[in-house]
Structure 1
Amino acid sequence: MRRLTKFSSAVVGLTVLAAAGTAVAAADQGDDWPYAHHSAASYTLAAVGDIACEPDDAENAATPASLKCGSPTLGGMSAEFATAKQATAMHPDAVALLGDEQYQVGKLTDFEKSFEQAWGGLKMLERPAPGNHEYYPYAKKGDNEAGQNGAGYFGYFNGHDQAGTPETQGQAGDDTADKQGWYSYNLGNWHVISLNAECKSDAFEHDCSTTDSGLLGQETRWLSHDLAANRRQCTIAYWHQATFSATTASTATVPASAPGAGGAEGAATDAWWKLLYQHHATLILNGHEHAYARLRPMNPAGQYDPAHGIPEFIVGSGGEALDTLAGSPGNYDNPNVVTAQAGAFGVMKLTLRSHSYSWDYKPALPGPGFDSTALKYSDSGSGTCN
């Protein structure tokens, strides 16, 4: 039985980071972070998504000003620098990036001129998952940009050749015809899984089936095998689009408490919930919704399950923009939402111990239209692994 204690509102050196064959020898103990992991008892994982605004440069001259860095309706560079500073102050052993690292379509040059400026100092620690803005075209609000199908994402995180062609392997996982950036790694007694939910993209041939021979079906079978092979007691999985929702942005056609509120991708990841539930996963992390929310332990049907359910955290408050929560405290549209905020940008800190964990979320910068009172929000607590 998983016990979850709630308290609402109110360093490179990864000897076990084995996702892409990466292993760094631990340095001696001292005040030399980020080049050493200092505690055998716990690991710190910073988690956040939806981060960097599109740079206002000549290459993006055709993009409406309201969608670029400098827009008064976006967090802008000040927000992404604030969240990067907050994450750095955590002295993390790894950084789980929950997708939409770079807006609007994640070109390599956009990564280099925006995301890199704020978050580049943590790059060796970053373990990303992609989002829709790294794969899909963007043709909203007067914009018309071609989808990158992960090219800028892999080019930035995995490196690239002189022509800008991404390397096929690296810290974002494999970039090949039959594997698009899903991978797993270990932090002490924790097994951590990064998944790619962008099944409506050209790379996935617009196939969101988890059971056929398509790319998402292959990924789902890989997840099943990875979970079966795992021998660590505690498991985290993260991807971009949340299966269960907390904001109005994802609930136009499906109730927030029903699987698939995040669209076709969220519906497809219902299969992942079933696998993770079967294998007693500890936590699921998502982005996509520009807010912070913590949801009660749930079974794959979205029903409260305190004995065996998996808590979901949505941490899409990395800096680009903020959404609107569906409902209000004590009366959220999704009754599984315990606490949430969409008035400020911030990063969640997870402390991972051998058989337990704790979380701590505090905002770093008020969002557009909000004042310093938005910084009074906090959410912290602890739980145990199966």
Structure 2
Amino acid sequence: MPAFATRAGLAAGGLLLAAAASAAAAPAGTPAAVTVYAAGDIARCAYSDPAYSGAADTARTVAAGLAADRDAVVLTLGDHTYPHGRAQEFADCYGPTWGQFKDRTWPAPGNHEYYTPHAAPYFAYFGERAGRGYYSLELGSWHVVSLDSNLAPAEHAAQLAWLRADLAGHPARCTLAFWHHPLYSSGGHGSIPKMRDAWRLLQEAGAELVLSGHDHDYERFAPQDADGRLDRAHGMRQFVVGTGGAYPTPFLLTVKNSEMRDSGRTGVLRLRLLDGRYEWEFLESARLTPLGLPSPDRGSEVCH
């Protein structure tokens, strides 16, 4: 398995067959592609049997991908358990489903974790991988930052100061950040401004992608700035992936720059982080709406 650096960094590879072909064609010394599976809003403890939950469906999708690629990793986008992020919920609902690949998971906390004081069970469950609620790592040639969108003002200011220093100390052509509350969303919770300053710092550093959850749907936005202005040359693309298995929620008013919306499936976002570019594909685990769904989203883009 890959070795960890002191900053919780990770050297990883890509999809089993596609990465092998890519590596064969790439010049010597080109960093290997890294495959990431990402979703939030995962294990709902409304039933005693975790197999009754959508988390079991999405866990099977992720497990199949990880079995095919020993170097792929998982990013969780908050709200790992419902309703209160308690230790028993992690043991009874998250553990039997997504907990099976805990040692390959990099988490970010959601608001439901904080329904238990200080999100203590979340930090206990993930241990060093949870950091202080925020941390960074390297995946191939990409710099990846996990942030906590639940912090009080003073703690959030400290997080922003850390982020500024982290980005300055780890310049990369391609950077990805993930946290729970989306700055932009057409879902029921809507756009949440808490992380606007973090978005601005990331964009100034040339970051490419932001992943969030919170709304229980899938949405892809065009690259935009911290004030919601379309900026295909320098903006960041946001994915909302709150489709990890919890109950679905509908879209309300469509936010500008929204390019793709899907509330009829549970599933996960698969990203391939390549040298200087990325590819995305939404992998359906279960269909919630029988008819009329668009094809699952997929595409690719180059880094700035």
1:378 maps to amino acid: P
Residue of structure 2 in register with 1:157 after alignment: 126
CA distance in 1: counterparts of 2:9 and 2:207, whole angstroms: 24
Query: Does residue 2 of structure 2 align to residue 14 of structure 1?
Result: yes
Query: Does residue 178 of structure 2 align to residue 218 of structure 1?
Result: no
CA distance in 2: counterparts of 1:324 and 1:81, whole angstroms: 22
Residue of structure 2 in register with 1:53 after alignment: 44
Aligned-pair CA distance for 1:88 = 1.7
Contact preservation (8 Å) 2:55, 2:244? yes
Specify every segment of 5 or more residues in structure 1 that has no aligned partner in the other structure, as ranges.
Answer: 1-12, 32-37, 55-67, 137-146, 159-169, 174-179, 200-206, 209-213, 252-260, 328-332
* SS of equivalent residue, structure 2 residue 285: strand
Aligned-pair CA distance for 1:70 = 6.9
Query: Does residue 295 of structure 2 align to residue 377 of structure 1?
Result: yes
Number of residue equivalences: 286
User: CA 1:304–1:76 in structure 2 vs 1: closer, same or farther (change >3 Å)?
Assistant: farther
1:69 maps to amino acid: Y
Residue of structure 2 in register with 1:308 after alignment: 234
Within the candidate set 253, 258, 273, 1:337 is matched to: 258
Aligned-pair CA distance for 1:14 = 3.0
Contact preservation (8 Å) 1:359, 1:381? yes
Superposition CA RMSD, Å: 2.4
Using structure 1 for the length normalisation, give the TM-score: 0.69
2:265 maps to amino acid: A
User: CA 1:313–1:76 in structure 2 vs 1: closer, same or farther (change >3 Å)?
Assistant: farther
User: CA 1:190–1:83 in structure 2 vs 1: closer, same or farther (change >3 Å)?
Assistant: same
Residue of structure 1 in register with 2:136 after alignment: 184
* SS of equivalent residue, structure 1 residue 276: helix
Query: Does residue 275 of structure 2 align to residue 354 of structure 1?
Result: yes
User: CA 1:156–1:346 in structure 2 vs 1: closer, same or farther (change >3 Å)?
Assistant: same
Query: Does residue 93 of structure 2 align to residue 172 of structure 1?
Result: no
2:283 maps to amino acid: K
2:184 maps to amino acid: F
2:178 maps to amino acid: Y
1:226 maps to amino acid: D
* SS of equivalent residue, structure 2 residue 233: coil
Query: Does residue 33 of structure 2 align to residue 42 of structure 1?
Result: yes
1:155 maps to amino acid: A
Contact preservation (8 Å) 2:10, 2:138? no
* SS of equivalent residue, structure 1 residue 117: coil
User: CA 1:350–1:307 in structure 2 vs 1: closer, same or farther (change >3 Å)?
Assistant: same
User: CA 1:22–1:312 in structure 2 vs 1: closer, same or farther (change >3 Å)?
Assistant: closer
CA distance in 2: counterparts of 1:50 and 1:86, whole angstroms: 15
CA distance in 2: counterparts of 1:383 and 1:296, whole angstroms: 11
Contact preservation (8 Å) 1:53, 1:103? yes
CA distance in 2: counterparts of 1:41 and 1:21, whole angstroms: 18
Aligned-pair CA distance for 1:148 = 3.1
CA distance in 1: counterparts of 2:294 and 2:48, whole angstroms: 26
Contact preservation (8 Å) 1:98, 1:129? yes
CA distance in 2: counterparts of 1:365 and 1:314, whole angstroms: 18
CA distance in 2: counterparts of 1:323 and 1:48, whole angstroms: 15
Contact preservation (8 Å) 1:107, 1:148? no
Within the candidate set 165, 186, 189, 1:250 is matched to: 189
Residue of structure 2 in register with 1:161 after alignment: none
Within the candidate set 220, 241, 244, 1:318 is matched to: 244
Aligned-pair CA distance for 1:335 = 2.1
CA distance in 1: counterparts of 2:245 and 2:166, whole angstroms: 32
The percentage of aligned residue pairs carrying the same residue is: 33
Specify every segment of 5 or more residues in structure 2 that has no aligned partner in the other structure, as ranges.
Answer: 17-21, 24-30
Aligned-pair CA distance for 1:21 = 4.1
Q: Deviations over 1:24-79 (max 9, x none)?
A: 8x89xxx9xxxxxx96521101110000012xxxxxxxxxxxxx1279xxx97341
User: CA 1:123–1:20 in structure 2 vs 1: closer, same or farther (change >3 Å)?
Assistant: farther
- Judging by fraction of residues, say which structure has more helix: 2
2:118 maps to amino acid: N
